[in-house]
């Protein structure tokens, strides 16, 4: 068990058994009090600690009560910190500290104690917040350095950031410390300098909120405090240690003898703190002055073009001077720092001195190629940035713009998961974790199979050997192993090893992403979808409108929890007209146009023809007294769907999962998607038609698969050169030329297949739309499943079985395993080439963004629109990229023991994919909606399918090679894999289908305690808006004034315009 305190703290040779110290101990047992204990012992040497604990409680809003017995005074906080480290750690043991941190800690905590500091790397992408992953990485780093971690040391409020830690951060920290059985030291010397929200939360308050007063953790949390900053008394050197650990307090009391506070200072201090009125006035005035000075400094920096981190406490301003750096290096930062000191005469602390992971807070996104350096293409390669800030284009010629630069690779490599989460959401993190998982398991497979299986494959038969480069690929596959060979046991062992490692890594990833999803729920406190239920199939009534029916139904059956509702309208034509008007307005306002007098259309910049945007004449007099979109029209446009708002999250959850009526086809309820995720047009689709649509889409999908038999057969015809020459005799002369044979059989099949495959994702996205998905993210997720099934069947099984299907169609269903056993190894060449062409080439296309380039040229030279902010942005194409990554993962599993040579090519692909996709998430794509990580069950199920397929094919190959024992040993592995899948399905999958009621109830209780429910209810009224109206909130049962709402007053919710290419 980890020894909690140091030898020094437990040492008995401290000399405190003298009468001098015994007197102190007797006083502590029987202190004098004029009323409660008039016969007690009077302390003549020290001031009372009571005034100090009262002051500590005062600046913590009296959320925490401090016991004077647990307080030790030291000569300043520096002495307090060093004393604590002496008590907690032995020389060579370590503390974890979040970055950036106070540079003096390298001296105060390490110099005389001999302790080590391991940084917890925090990043500017989330304002340097502590995360669970950052804590785990720091702990693992300490273990790699053979350091025993004794605790986590934090400063709250932070020096140098000037920010306070959130309740979630403190909870993460406490949970981590409890799991590792380590201490927490909270340096709270700036607690009295908090001048703005959010409020300061002490580590002790977080413990009390979690009701941990009687836990072991209660004695492992220690606070350092001081009056130097809170009262502006730096020269008085008054520090304090507070801990509930009696042993530590006893040891710290003994050590404080080497740094005592003078009696005169203690006396003066007791007088200052005893004046309650003065203290309250001082705290109030201090807060006022801090706000004023901070605003003055921040505004002055802003006027100079220098941004700073938003702070709410302390005496610091953490500034961003990235525009002044010559390069993205710490050396450039130090060069800038020296210039500021020497030329400006101002001393500032560089970020590197605070162990900041990024030079001067923010790391520049480096340009990776010549195209990225062109200002005219900024919308193509930095669409995510264009969506946040308006670009400033500088078209001045610069030679550096035409010099390739690979620095974007370094940036993509250094980017943390927290930055990916901040930029692309949880779905982006899940996608990156998919790539990381694939790389890890295929790395293990490559090491095992290439060093164990590959030599056995090569020397499996007695044959004439050539030089290795001259050998055919078949010589390195399992086909080259003799029948009945004992070496097949090595293949069986490799199969078990790869499968077990895959299950282990898959479990770790599933567990980690499940935790991220739970954190995603708790972090979405203000998510209106938690309060909102989408109701479809509302029964029609002659007597009342849909709105009245909804009100009557929910007021009757959910009287205590029903808040309000909003009807959904059929507004396709209205949306199109308003969207076109908005696009036209942007174009006219931002770019010069030729408008012909008397014409109501816009001229195209290339050919002079008119565009599809109609310019409506402004006839103010004709509009008087006319209602274009009145209440009667609204009632006619009502559809049998509504958004119903509840007073709390739990009530909405219960309503969404309950059967509302005796007829399951009416009053159908689901939790509503987020406002930006609503697919309004599908919500109006009659619910009774959805099952027909789904059947039709299933038939259409099967027809699409059948249609693609033709290109698949064509590609396989190109693989078999002899068949190709017999079919097309005129090609014999061409194919005999040098290199043409390799081109025809190697690259052309993959190129042909890739060309046809580009048609599939848009078609599948259309199918998912027609199915009736109520959310954009759900539509994309459904499309990804369809594309994945299509790729597995057509690319993998289609290419393996196509020749056999044509020749042996009548026997295919009778002898599937035999076909797999013979066809899979023989098609290894094709799939290796497919990885090179489809895999590596797709990454190049992803980087170059050819569609974005063409779109940029169209806007710039045909529409003559030079404002890049009107070109539109893109969301991440999960429906194409997730299936592609999973397909390559399937290749890796299936061929790992059969043809291990494919694995290095796949590893190169996943390495490049890791860099490319991280770069694209950061710079190109905009996150408008997400599924909350629900892509991972797709990843898990596909991985299990790939593993079982790998095992079935290996079992068939072992049987074909007449190794019945090895083949039989695969059966238990298949069973164990399926059992593992069932465990994960029961353990994790429900959390990806439903939101835990426990989380929603806790959030409801917290909001009720904080008095936030009323504000949330008010915001719900405006959260879901099909289109905005200046005079009323569209969605009310009836408009307040029918004549005051006109069509030109309507404005679509941002993000729903076709100018934004959100799939």
Task: Write out the catalytic residue numbers.
Answer: 102, 187, 189, 229
599 alpha carbon, distance to own chain's centre: 50
Q: DSSP character for 989? A: G
- Give the three-class secondary structure for 814: coil
Phi, psi (5° rounding) for residue 21?
A: -85, -25
Tell me how far apart the alpha carbons of residues 859 and 376 are, in angstroms, rounded to a whole number: 11
Nearest to 185 by CA among 106, 243, 267: 243
Nearest to 898 by CA among 459, 478, 473, 458: 478
Q: DSSP character for 186? A: E
Nearest to 240 by CA among 76, 55, 48: 76
Tell me how far apart the alpha carbons of residues 927 and 931 are, in angstroms, rounded to a whole number: 11
In the chain, the largest separation of any two C-alpha atoms, in whole Å, equals 119
Tell me how far apart the alpha carbons of residues 579 and 585 are, in angstroms, rounded to a whole number: 10
Residue 192 pairs with which residues in a beta bridge? none
H or E stretch covering 349: none
Nearest to 934 by CA among 781, 784, 773, 789: 781
- Give the three-class secondary structure for 21: helix
Tell me how far apart the alpha carbons of residues 284 and 543 are, in angstroms, rounded to a whole number: 62
DSSP 103-129: TTHHHHTTTTT--EEEEE---GGGTT-
Q: Which two tokens stand for residue 1028?
A: 């905005």
382-385-386 Cα angle (round to 5):
85
Residue 492 burial (C-beta neighbours within 10 Å; 0-12, 13-18, 19+): buried
Tell me how far apart the alpha carbons of residues 995 and 125 are, in angstroms, rounded to a whole number: 27
CB 403 within 8 A of CB 370: yes
The count of other CB atoms within 10 Å of the CB of residue 382 is: 19
Tell me how far apart the alpha carbons of residues 778 and 768 are, in angstroms, rounded to a whole number: 9
CB 45 within 8 A of CB 23: no
Q: Which two tokens stand for residue 38?
A: 């008039």
Tell me how far apart the alpha carbons of residues 185 and 97 are, in angstroms, rounded to a whole number: 10
CB 615 within 8 A of CB 600: yes
Tell me how far apart the alpha carbons of residues 122 and 174 are, in angstroms, rounded to a whole number: 17
174 alpha carbon, distance to own chain's centre: 22
Tell me how far apart the alpha carbons of residues 917 and 909 are, in angstroms, rounded to a whole number: 12
Tell me how far apart the alpha carbons of residues 719 and 829 are, in angstroms, rounded to a whole number: 9
Tell me how far apart the alpha carbons of residues 876 and 425 are, in angstroms, rounded to a whole number: 11
Paired sense of beta strands 532-536 and 562-569, if any: unpaired
- Give the three-class secondary structure for 287: helix
Tell me how far apart the alpha carbons of residues 128 and 161 are, in angstroms, rounded to a whole number: 8
Tell me how far apart the alpha carbons of residues 415 and 328 are, in angstroms, rounded to a whole number: 14
Based on its alpha-carbon atoms, the radius of gyration of the chain, rounded to whole angstroms, reads 35
Residue 694 pairs with which residues in a beta bridge? none
Residues shown for the chain = 1063
Nearest to 980 by CA among 951, 953, 959: 951
Which ranges of 152-223 does DSSP label H, i.e. alpha helix?
167-180, 203-209
């Amino acid at each position: 068990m980890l020894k909690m305190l140091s030898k020094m703290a437990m040492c008995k040779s401290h000399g405190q058994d003298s009468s001098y110290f015994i007197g102190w101990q007797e006083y502590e047992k029987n202190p004098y009090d004029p009323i409660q204990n008039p016969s007690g012992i009077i302390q003549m040497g020290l001031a009372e600690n009571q005034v100090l604990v009262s002051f500590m409680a005062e600046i913590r809003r009296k959320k925490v009560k401090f016991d004077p017995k647990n307080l030790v005074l030291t000569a300043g906080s520096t002495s307090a910190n060093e004393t604590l480290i002496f008590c907690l750690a032995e020389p060579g043991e370590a503390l974890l500290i979040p970055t950036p941190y106070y540079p003096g800690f390298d001296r105060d905590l390490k110099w005389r104690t001999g302790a080590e500091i391991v940084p917890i790397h925090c990043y500017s992408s989330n304002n340097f917040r502590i995360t669970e992953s950052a804590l785990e990485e720091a702990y693992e780093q300490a273990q790699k350095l053979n350091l025993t971690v004794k605790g986590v040391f934090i400063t709250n409020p932070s020096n140098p950031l000037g920010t306070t830690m959130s309740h979630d951060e403190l909870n993460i920290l406490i949970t981590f410390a409890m799991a590792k059985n380590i201490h927490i030291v909270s340096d709270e010397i700036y607690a009295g300098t908090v001048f703005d929200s959010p409020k300061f939360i002490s580590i002790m308050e977080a413990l009390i909120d979690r009701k941990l007063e009687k836990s072991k953790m209660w004695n492992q949390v220690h606070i350092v405090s001081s009056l130097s900053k809170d009262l502006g008394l730096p020269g008085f050197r008054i520090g304090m240690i507070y801990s509930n650990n009696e042993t530590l307090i006893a040891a710290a009391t003994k050590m404080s003898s080497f740094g005592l506070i003078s009696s005169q200072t203690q006396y003066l201090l007791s007088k200052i703190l005893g004046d309650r009125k003065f203290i309250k006035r001082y705290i109030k005035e201090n807060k006022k002055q801090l706000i004023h000075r901070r605003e003055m400094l921040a505004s002055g920096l802003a006027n100079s073009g220098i941004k700073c981190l938003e702070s709410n406490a302390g005496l610091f301003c953490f500034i961003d001077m990235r525009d002044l750096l010559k390069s993205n290096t710490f050396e450039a930062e130090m060069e800038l720092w020296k210039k500021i000191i020497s030329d400006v005469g101002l001393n500032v602390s560089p970020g590197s001195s605070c162990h900041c992971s990024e030079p001067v807070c923010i790391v520049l996104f480096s340009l990776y190629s010549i195209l990225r350096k062109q200002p005219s293409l900024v919308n193509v390669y930095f669409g995510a940035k264009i969506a946040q800030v308006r670009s400033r284009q500088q078209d001045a010629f610069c030679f550096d713009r035409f010099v390739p630069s690979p620095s974007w690779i370094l940036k993509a490599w250094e980017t943390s998961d927290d930055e990916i989460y901040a930029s692309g959401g949880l779905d982006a993190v899940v996608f990156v974790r998919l790539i990381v998982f694939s790389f890890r398991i295929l790395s293990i497979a490559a090491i095992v199979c290439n060093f164990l299986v590959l030599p056995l494959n090569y020397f499996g038969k007695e044959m004439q050997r050539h030089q290795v480069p001259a050998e055919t690929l078949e010589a390195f596959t399992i086909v080259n192993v003799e029948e009945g060979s004992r070496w097949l046991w090595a293949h069986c062992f490799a199969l078990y090893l790869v499968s077990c490692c895959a299950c282990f890594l898959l479990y770790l990833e599933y567990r980690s992403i499940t935790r991220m999803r739970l954190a995603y729920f708790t972090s979405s406190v203000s998510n209106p979808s938690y309060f909102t239920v989408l109701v479809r199939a509302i029964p029609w009534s002659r007597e009342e409108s849909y709105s009245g029916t909804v009100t009557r139904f929910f007021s009757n059956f959910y009287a205590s929890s029903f808040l309000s509702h909003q009807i959904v309208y059929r507004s396709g034509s209205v949306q199109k007209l308003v969207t076109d008007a908005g696009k036209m307005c942007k174009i006219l306002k931002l770019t010069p146009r030729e408008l012909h007098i008397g014409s109501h259309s816009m001229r195209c910049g290339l050919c002079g023809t008119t565009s599809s945007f109609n310019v409506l004449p402004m006839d103010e007099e004709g509009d008087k007294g006319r209602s274009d979109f009145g209440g009667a029209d609204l009632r006619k446009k009502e559809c049998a769907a509504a958004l119903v708002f509840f007073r709390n999250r739990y009530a909405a959850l219960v309503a969404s999962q309950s059967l509302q009526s005796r007829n399951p086809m009416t009053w159908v309820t689901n939790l509503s998607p987020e406002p930006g995720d609503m697919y309004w047009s599908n919500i109006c689709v009659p619910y009774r038609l959805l099952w027909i649509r789904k059947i039709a889409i299933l038939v259409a999908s099967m027809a699409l698969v059948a249609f693609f038999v033709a290109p698949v057969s064509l590609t396989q015809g190109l693989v078999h050169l002899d068949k190709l020459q017999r079919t097309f005799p005129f090609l014999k002369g061409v194919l005999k030329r040098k290199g043409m044979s390799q081109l025809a059989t190697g690259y052309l099949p993959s190129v042909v297949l890739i060309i046809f495959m580009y048609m599939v994702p848009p078609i599948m996205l259309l199918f998912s739309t027609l199915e009736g998905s109520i959310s954009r993210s759900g539509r994309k997720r459904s499309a990804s499943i369809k594309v994945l099934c299509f790729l597995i069947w057509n690319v993998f099984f289609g290419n393996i079985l196509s020749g056999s299907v044509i020749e042996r169609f009548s026997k295919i269903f009778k002898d599937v395993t035999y076909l797999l056993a013979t066809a899979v190894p023989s098609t290894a060449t094709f799939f290796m080439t497919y990885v090179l062409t489809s895999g590596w080439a797709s990454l190049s296309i992803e980087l170059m963004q050819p569609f974005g380039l063409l779109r940029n040229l169209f806007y710039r030279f045909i529409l003559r629109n030079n404002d890049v902010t009107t070109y539109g942005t893109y969301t991440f194409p999960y429906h194409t990229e997730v299936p592609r990554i999973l397909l390559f993962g399937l290749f890796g599993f299936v061929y790992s023991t059969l043809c291990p040579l494919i694995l290095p090519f796949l590893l190169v692909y996943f390495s490049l994919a890791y860099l490319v996709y991280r770069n694209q998430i950061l710079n190109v794509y905009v996150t408008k909606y997400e599924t909350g990580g629900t892509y991972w069950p797709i990843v898990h199920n596909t991985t299990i399918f790939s593993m079982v397929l790998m095992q079935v094919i290996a079992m068939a190959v072992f049987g074909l090679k007449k190794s019945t024992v090895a083949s039989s040993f695969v059966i238990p592995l298949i069973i164990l894999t399926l059992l593992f899948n069932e465990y994960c399905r029961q353990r994790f999958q429900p959390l990806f289908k439903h939101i835990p009621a426990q989380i929603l109830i806790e959030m409801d209780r917290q909001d009720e305690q904080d008095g936030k429910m009323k504000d949330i209810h008010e915001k719900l009224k405006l959260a879901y808006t099909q289109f905005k109206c200046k005079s009323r909130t569209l969605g009310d049962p009836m408009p307040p004034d029918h004549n005051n709402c006109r069509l030109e007053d309507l404005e679509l919710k941002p993000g729903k315009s076709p100018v934004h290419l959100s799939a």
